[in-house]
Structure 1
C-alpha cells in the first residue's frame, strides 16, 4: 500500500493540502517550482514533489473557470 503523501487537516495550515508530516503546502511547492527552484533547492523528496504536482493536476481537472489576470504591458 502506497503512503498518502498529500493530506489536508483543518488544524494544519487552515486545511490547505500539505506534504504529510510537514507544514509545506502544495501551493508553496508550486510557487517555488514556478520561480525556478530545483527539487534539490526545495529539499523535499522527488516523490513528495511529484505527489504535489499530481495533486495540483487532479485539482485543476474540476469543471471550474479560473480567472486569469491579463499581463500588463
Structure 2
C-alpha cells in the first residue's frame, strides 16, 4: 500500500523519505517485501502521518479490501 500511496501523491522514495523521516533504504526494503524489513511501530506511525498530512486517508479492511484514497475535502 506504500507504493500506491506514493503514486497517488506523485512521490518518489526520496520525497516520501523527506516527508516521513524514514531512510530510502528502509522504504525500498519494505516495498520490496524484504522479509527482514519490518517497520517498527514508530516508523509505521511516521509513514502514516506523512501520508495523512499530505491529504490521504487509509480505508480499513471491511470485506471490500483495505485501501488508500484522497481525504474528502469539507465544504467551506
1 or 2, which has the higher helix percentage?
2
Band the TM-score falls in, shorter-chain normalisation: 0.3 to 0.5
1 or 2, which has the higher strand percentage?
2
TM-score in terms of structure 1 length = 0.34
When Rg is computed on C-alpha atoms for both structures, the one with the higher figure is 1
